[in-house]
Amino acid sequence: MSLRILGICCSPRQGQSTFNAMRVCLDAAKDAGSQVEVQLIELAGKTIGPCMACNICRQGLICGWEDDFAEFIPVLADTNVAGIIIGTPVYFGGMTAQCKALLDRCVMFRRNGWLLRDKVGGVLAVGGVRNGGQELTLQSVRAAMLCHDMVCVSDGKDSAHFGAALYSGGPGGIEDDEDGLKTARNLGRRVAELAMRLYPGT
């Protein structure tokens, strides 16, 4: 059997810098082991409303909102998912509205048996300037992961900081940010390596 690493791109723009950074990250995850498979999801073009604290999800994996989040519920609840990597652009020093809405709506997995517990979590952030809030964004997303009792990892040695931090504002975009791309590769590999240790039978 295989274990799945899920990458969720929370940019409102389809196929742009965060998406490309996530592809680099997931390629490294896939190369970490033959049993690893990866899946990339984009939130661009999707409608995901904010959590309204209606508490309907206390009754099961259901939500009071009728929007595109419903299609992600079975994907996130799949027991074959061993790791989740969240990627977001940095807007005003933090995550995108799409990312925050997704994380808030994921409260249903905590309320219905802690379904994300012990899954490996990693975070990737892309800023338009070199020091535009990537680290704060990484830590904010990690805080949500810890509320699910996920196992958060760094971008691995030899840098081993809060996750993958990339800079898209140069002439060549992230493709010219070799240091940032290295953290993306390291993060994907680290998530996969730990997932294989935690779930050796898959």
Structure confidence by residue, pLDDT tens digits, 154-163: 998 888 899 9
Structure tokens at 57: 């999800």
pTM: 0.96
Structure tokens at 201: 């039978």
Q: Give the number of other CB atoms < 10 A from CB of residue 12.
A: 17
First to last CA, the chain: 5
pLDDT in tens, 28-60: 999 999 999 999 999 999 999 999 999 999 999
CB 152, CB 145: distance < 8 Å: yes
pLDDT in tens, 89-132: 999 999 999 999 999 999 999 999 999 999 999 999 999 998 99
Which residues span the domain enclosing 186? 3-198
Amino acid at 193: E
Task: Name which of 48, 39, 38 is nearest 10 in CA terms.
Answer: 48
Task: Name which of 71, 64, 21 is nearest 46 in CA terms.
Answer: 71
CATH of the domain at 194: 3.40.50.360
State the total domains in the chain: 1
CB 70, CB 1: distance < 8 Å: no
pLDDT exceeding 70 applies to what percent of the chain? 99
Dist CA 9 CA 43 (whole Å): 6
Mark residue 170 as left, alpha or beta (left: phi above 0; alpha: psi -120 to 50; beta: remaining): beta
Task: Name which of 200, 10, 4 is nearest 105 in CA terms.
Answer: 10
